[in-house]
Every structure is written in C-alpha cells, then in structure tokens.
Amino acid sequence: MSDNTGDESIFTKFKNLVSYKINNAVSDPNAEKYAAERAKNKEEKEKQLAAAKINTTVDTTKSNPNQFNAKRFFNKIINHTTQIIRIIFFPFVALMLAMIVANEMIVYTVPVRIIFFIFTFLVCCFMTPLCIILGFYYILKGGYSYYINNMTDRTDKVIIMPTIYALLPITMYKPESSFLRFFLYPFTYPKSAISEAEIPKTMEAYLKDLKESFKDLDKVKNLPFFSKQLEKIEIKLLKTLHDLSITSKLNVSAVPLVPVTPVAPVTPVTPVVSVAPVVPVEPVMPVAPLK
C-alpha cells in the first residue's frame, strides 16, 4: 500500500516539475500583456461598429419623411437616373444601332436585314459592354467618314457610313392610304429623292468591291457558265433587288388603260326646221242656185 502511494507521489511530482519547466519556458509576461490588449481593442472595435450600425438604422427608420434630407434627396436622384438609363437610354441606343446595321445591310436581301436588325437589338439590350463597343465603332467610323469626305482634297466621295433609308428598310411599296402609310413608314424606303439617288451608288460600289475581292475574275469571267452567273448577280444587285419603279407598278390597276386622245369640243348646231313651200290657191267662182 505504501509502495503505491510512493509511486503516485513520485509521478505527481514529476508531472508538476514538467509543467513548471514548460510554463517557465514558454511564458512571457510581455506577450501575455500584448495579447490581452489586443483582445480588448478588438472588443472595443466590435462595440463601436455595432453602435454605428444601430445609429444608422435608427436614423433611416426614424427620419421624418416630410423633413428635407440632402443625402436622401441625392440618393433618390441617383436611383431614378439609373432606372431611366436602364429603361429608356440603352434600349434607345440599341434601336439606333440596329437601325444603322440594318441600313448597312441594304446590299443584301430583306430577310438578311431583318435578321441583323433583331440580332443587333437583342445583343445591345442584354449585353451593355457590346452595345458600348458597337456605339464607339460607329462614332469613330462616322468621324473618319466626315474627315475623308469633307476635310481632304478628294473629289470623289467615299461611302463609309451607311445611308439611313428607314428604321428597317424592307419594302419600297408606298400605299395610297394615309392609315397604311403611317404604320408602314418605318419600313418603307426611300424617303426622298436624295436617298433614292444613293441606292444605285451604293449597289455599284458594293459590286465593284465584290469584283475586286475576286482576284481571278479576269481569268474566268469569259467562261460560259461563270459569265451567265455573273450577269445574274449584276442584274440582281443593280436592277431587281431595289426596283425603284415598284411604287408605280403597284399603284397601276390590273387592266391597263389605253390613253385617250382628247377630242376638240364640238360646236353645237342649231336644228333647222324645213318649211314646205306655200302653193297659191285660186279663187272659187260662186255657183248659181238650181231652180
């Protein structure tokens, strides 16, 4: 019994000795003081942040809405301006860019113009960075066009920016009804004699660029099959794609009218009644009465 007690006391003394040595080796009064101050500063900062949050909430919830508050006023202005830009400005810019792209596709068929118009509008509405990039592209393109055509010594005008014919140029038919003309106005072209004169120039410039892009054109243009196809392309681009006489064709009735030569007015003739000649009557001799 005494041996067990002795063993336990030795073990306890050894344990205490080890704990004492380790505590003395790692303990530092300065380090403990620094840790205590740091914990205290952290608690004070958390209390200050909590108090500031409570004060902000109280000021926001308990402020009098009838009393003028400059901060609240400017916040409302910023919020409303941002909403207006999102709702009106960017869709408007997207519509204008889609219009420019559709008019630049005037050298292609109507389905191509419609597809590019819809695609550009949707991309610019839902992807703001692309809308900004496309807008800057056309701004720089317009500036370069103005510089080349108005600030240099060039005599011939270079077509760089597209001519705006309509919001979405898809038809050249102009109805006689004012009601239909009002609803079809964004889609009909050309609007004026100036824009009408620009269509052949644009198509000729596109056909010229198309031929110049094909370097071996001179070698194969005289081949029978290729010459026929080239002739079809020229007819399509220069005549049938934009038939400037389509308006008059659509307004003429199905039965052609023969022009009537105007007749000179006829002088009215007064009718003459023929009178029979009067035959003279001989006098009648009186007859004697009978007895």
pLDDT in tens, 105-150: 999 999 999 999 999 999 999 998 999 999 999 999 999 999 998 8
Looking at the predicted structure, is the pLDDT value of residue 12 above 60? yes
* Average pLDDT estimate for 92-115: 94
Percent of the chain with pLDDT over 90: 25
* Average pLDDT estimate for 165-192: 90
Looking at the predicted structure, is the pLDDT value of residue 263 above 90? no
Looking at the predicted structure, is the pLDDT value of residue 101 above 90? yes
What are the Cα distances from residue 171, in Å, to 63, 189, 247? 60, 6, 10
Model pLDDT, residue 139: 95
The residue that leads in pLDDT, 78 or 18, is: 78
What are the Cα distances from residue 202, in Å, to 35, 187, 242, 290? 81, 19, 11, 123
The residue that leads in pLDDT, 161 or 86, is: 161
Looking at the predicted structure, is the pLDDT value of residue 208 above 80? yes
Q: Which amino acid, one-letter code, is at 157?
A: K
The residue that leads in pLDDT, 249 or 170, is: 170
Q: Which amino acid, one-letter code, is at 105?
A: M
Of 90-99, 216-225, 232-241, 262-271, where does the model show the most confidence? 90-99
Find the radius of gyration of the CA atoms of the chain.
50
Model pLDDT, residue 186: 92
DSSP 8-state assignment for residue 105: G
Mean pLDDT score of the chain, rounded to an integer? Answer: 77
CB 137 within 8 A of CB 120: no
Name the residue with tokens 């198309």.
Answer: 210
Looking at the predicted structure, is the pLDDT value of residue 254 above 50? no
Percent of the chain with pLDDT over 70: 72
Model pLDDT, residue 7: 57
Name the residue with tokens 């701004």.
Answer: 139
Model pLDDT, residue 230: 78
Model pLDDT, residue 120: 96
H-only helix segments in the chain: 2-26, 29-62, 70-84, 90-104, 110-126, 128-150, 178-184, 193-213, 217-220, 224-235, 246-251
Domain segments of the chain as ranges: 8-62, 65-159, 163-250
- Cα(157)–Cα(65) distance, integer angstroms: 62
Q: Which amino acid, one-letter code, is at 166?
A: A
- Cα(33)–Cα(71) distance, integer angstroms: 44
171: helix, strand or coil:
strand
Give me the torsion for CA of 105, 108, 110, 113, rounded to 10°.
Answer: -20
Model pLDDT, residue 100: 96
Residue 75: pLDDT band (50, 70, 90) is confident
- Cα(98)–Cα(167) distance, integer angstroms: 8
The partner residues of 171 in beta bridges, in order of sequence, read: 188
